[in-house]
Amino acid sequence: MVEELLTAVVAAGVGAAVYMGAAARVVKQYERGLVFRFGRLREEVRPPGFTVIVPLIDRLRKVNMQIVTLPVPAQEGITRDNVTVRVDAVVYFKVVDPASAVVAVEDYRFAVSQMAQTSLRSIIGKSDLDDLLSNREMLNQGLELMIDSPAVGWGVQIDRVEIKDVSLPETMKRSMARQAEADRERRARVINADAELQASHKLAEAAEVMSEQPAALQLRLLHTVVAVAAEKNSTLVLPFPVELLRFLERAAPPPPAAPAHTDPAPAGPASEGPGPDGVGPLPEGGDGPEPVSPPPEPPALGTAGPAPFPDGSAP
């Protein structure tokens, strides 16, 4: 009798252990449990921790409540301004209603992935290339709304959508590079012109100040010479302006005046010798000056004169 009782107790314990092993379940902190009894969903959602189901009758389905990172494959499309681009994105979502995520849709991950790809193609066709490159925040918000609208009925909440990369053709990249280079060159020219305008105003003011003080111009010239001479790699040619020479001329003392040397005329009678006009002395009692005959002119070279006589006398 005792042996039969012990055998029954042991059998009951083994059966209870097997039952508990088949009925016991553990739901993790980031999961929620859904119980299906004979295929029908129980309204109670099992919280995290230890839970028990009826073996062979109930089936426990665990649903992950964490945020899921779903990469969207690159989609190729044509923008509104007829540019072919290739865009990929990433979707962050989580399950907020486990019952709807399991019952309303067969595979909510696959459904969200397909909806994200379709919405991404639609966004590419409605946007310009400049919006895809510089205005991504607005496109992310529009893409999030397009995906979140059908996902609400699936018990899924779209947390965030980000466009990762926009791939452009090589020809478009070169065109954009030339455009950016031209724009930077334009801004550089505008900046240079503005600098020249400001410098011209300052130079005009400096010229007005230097015109009032001529010495300031000379000091500025000397400063320029010192700045150029500091390089020691070129020959310096220094011109002297006329103003500097005039300034030195005014600053130099005047030379002393030299004494005048005059030779006295020799004293003598006015009647000796012929006068300056070749007029001889006046005779006493004469009516006028006696003209003096000029000396005979010598014969010109190369002119044959009269032949002399044989005795050497002139004819």
Question: Which pLDDT does position 261 carry in this prediction?
Answer: 52
Query: Could you tell me the CA-to-CA distances from 103 to 53, 70, 100, 106, 155 in Å, in that order?
Result: 20, 21, 5, 7, 10
Question: Which pLDDT does position 310 carry in this prediction?
Answer: 45
Angle value at C-alpha 116, between 110 and 119, nearest 5 degrees: 140
Q: What is the rounded CA–CA span in Å between residue 108 and residue 155?
A: 9
Name the residue among 166, 161, 160 with its Cα closest to residue 88. Answer: 166
Type of residue found at 207: A
Chunked into runs of 10 residues, the chain (315 residues) has average pLDDT values of 78 79 86 90 89 87 92 90 90 92 90 92 89 87 89 90 88 87 93 93 86 79 78 70 70 64 48 45 47 51 45 47
Token reading at 121? 């193609």
Q: What is the rounded CA–CA span in Å between residue 242 and residue 214?
A: 12
Question: Which pLDDT does position 288 carry in this prediction?
Answer: 46
Question: Which pLDDT does position 6 carry in this prediction?
Answer: 80
Name the residue among 137, 139, 115, 116 with its Cα closest to residue 126. Answer: 139
Q: What is the rounded CA–CA span in Å between residue 33 and residue 52?
A: 11
Q: Are strands 31-37 and 40-46 parallel, antiparallel or unpaired?
A: antiparallel
Range 86-106 burial, b when 16+ CB lie within 10 A, else e: ebbbebebebebbbbbbeebe
Q: What is the rounded CA–CA span in Å between residue 67 and residue 52?
A: 27
Q: What is the rounded CA–CA span in Å between residue 289 and residue 280?
A: 7
Q: What is the rounded CA–CA span in Å between residue 13 and residue 273?
A: 184
